[in-house]
Amino acid sequence: MLYFENDYCEGAHPSILQRLIETNMEKLSGYGTDKYCESAKEKIREVCACPNADIYFLVGGTQTNATVISAMLKRYEGVIAASTGHINFHEAGAIEYTGHKVLELPHKDGKISAKTLQDYLETFYKDKNYDHMVFPGMVYISHPTEYGTLYTKAELQEISSICTGYNLPLFLDGARLGYGIASEQSDISLADIAKYTSVFYIGGTKVGALCGEAVVFPNQAPNHFMTMIKQQGALLAKGRLLGIQFDTLFTNDLYMEISKNAIETANKLKKALLDKGYQLFLDSPTNQIFVVLENETMKKLGEVVKFSFWEKYDETHMVVRFATSWATKMEDVEELITLL
């Protein structure tokens, strides 16, 4: 059985496990105060070109989204997101559980546009009764999006500028950030993201780590953010587990290096699909490929390959997703291609 169902089906990059073993019996202080966390933060600050950034390591994506968003919103505020945004759709209501509304915007291929955002904000503040409504308190985007698409630097800049104008923090969910940066179609660096957002996270779980997301506040974290992490149940006692992983990933550019593999294998697969006449559902430049399959084809293929069922396309077709990762072997892609 070939496995293209998601990008978190393997363990960790071997260097990480190696490092865990080497440091295993060192006695380190808890809760992220150890030297490996410090070292990892320093390396991330450097690659993000934000020497004063406050950085925290959390365990997973939903947790990170809920913790960051609820820490930054005021009680009467909600978070603006694409209707397809992970926080709106696939996190079991984790944001609402903290008391805040997700304010949906329409999307195009998983992205919100600066214009949609601007219109929303203008309409809100033009309504004489806006104080009976949920105040927009933050903007959430994912990059890559849930559809594997990417914002251009110009788009990010434009959204950022609207946020600044309305004094709204911009939060970028980078669960798959490595794959976004590694895509040849991307013109955005980590330093750009640090420049144009108020907070973002660099995903570890889907990019080489066992678990872990690095939350970066390029300027300053909210007061007592650590206590809020604890309050959310998201503070790891053995913070070393996260520090060592990110320290390894940000040594010798490992994070970027292993990200490239996901792009190369995805590109190979995408080209083959197009060559064979398959219809892409949309053109994703990262590690997720969405393709329209005839139901019968899908069923047969499903017997030998694992992939994700995304949504119904029409009565006789489905959209399915193939995901690659840092760990995908090119030979598996080649074998998959022969099966298409």
Residue 92 vs 338, nearer CB to a second copy? 92
What is the distance between the alpha carbons of residues 142 and 105, in angstroms, rounded to a whole number? 13
Considering the complex, what minimum distance in angstroms separates the CB of residue 204 from a second copy?
10
In whole angstroms, the minimum distance from the beta carbon of 4 to a second copy comes to 10
The number of angstroms, rounded, from the C-alpha of 335 to the middle of its chain's C-alpha atoms is: 28
Q: How far apart are CA 90 and CA 34, in angstroms?
A: 33
Shortest Å distance, C-beta 184 to a second copy: 27
340: DSSP letter: -
Choice between 52 and 129, CB closer to a second copy: 129
Residue 9 C-beta: closest distance to a second copy, Å: 4
The residue (of 63 and 261) whose beta carbon lies closer to a second copy is 63
Q: Which of 41, 30, 77, 32 is nearest to 226 (CA)?
A: 32
Judged by CB, which is closer to a second copy: 90, or 300? Answer: 90
Taking the least distance from each CB to a second copy, the nearer of 183 and 205 is: 205
Q: Would you mind telling me the total number of residues written for the chain in this entry?
A: 340
DSSP state for residue 128 in the 8-state scheme = T
Distance CA 176, CA 280 (A): 21
Cα separation, 325 vs 59, in Å, equals 19
Max Cα–Cα distance, the chain, nearest Å: 62
Which uninterrupted H or E stretch holds 254?
helix 254-275
Which is nearer to a second copy, 138 or 327 (by Cβ)? 327
- Report residue 226: phi and psi, to 5°: -60, -40
CB of 8 to a second copy, least distance (A): 5
- Give the nearest distance from C-beta 93 to a second copy in angstroms: 4
